[in-house]
Amino acid sequence: MYKIGIKHNGAIIATTELSKEEEKLEESMLAFIVDLFEKKFGLDISQYRLNEYESLVGYFFIHIRNEDLERLREEKLTKLGL
């Protein structure tokens, strides 16, 4: 299984496992990973720098920026009605 996720200050914020179909596509297209983060987490990582990425065997993490973390938190709270 291949996972993608979000980290902030060394802590894992969110992860998701890719389906078999998504894994196959990920191996063939780098741009696909940008689309995955948008689809899975609602996060546009197209403007992130290379030092904000972390690629490990079986995992790909983005080190989320403070402003994106705040936006994601607000969106989740809104969905919960808080």
Going from the first residue of the chain to its last (82 residues), give the mean pLDDT of each consecutive group of 10, the final group possibly shorter.
88 88 60 85 90 87 94 90 82
Tracing tokens 């995992």 back to the chain, one arrives at 59
Total domains in the chain come to 1
Of 16, 10, 47, 39, which Cα lies nearest the Cα of 2?
Answer: 16
Looking at residue 31, its pLDDT comes to: 77
Looking at residue 70, its pLDDT comes to: 93
Range of the domain at 42: 3-79
Looking at residue 29, its pLDDT comes to: 61
